[in-house]
Amino acid sequence: MHTRTPERTNPLIAWPEPLPKGPIAAKPRNSIEVRELRALALRERVGLWMHLRVCTACRAYRKQSRMIDRWLERRANAGSTIQSEALETRIIDAIARRS
């Protein structure tokens, strides 16, 4: 399956180098996410801290992950919901115009 990479023209996003693949790179990314859900064990915290000192891609990932979490939290606390009926009508109208 091919995934499309976003255009790197947005100056507000710190575009890291492509994230490394494989089990070594997956562990720090997983630890970054798990840290938001539960406290990491001492060994995990130290390992993540050491890795983040040398890996710019994982530091950028952590920063972007925190930014997304804050955005989602603000969005959830705003209480605003999408008017699904209006959205459904707009989608149906757009499809009808294309046909």
Q: Where do the domains of the chain lie?
A: 23-98
In the prediction, which pLDDT does 38 show?
Answer: 83
Average pLDDT, the chain: 76
Give the angle subtended at the CA of 2 by the CAs of 4 and 67, to the nearest 5°.
Answer: 40
In the prediction, which pLDDT does 21 show?
Answer: 58
- Which one is predicted more confidently, 93 or 5? 93
In the prediction, which pLDDT does 53 show?
Answer: 92
Prediction pTM value: 0.52
pLDDT for 1 beyond 50: no
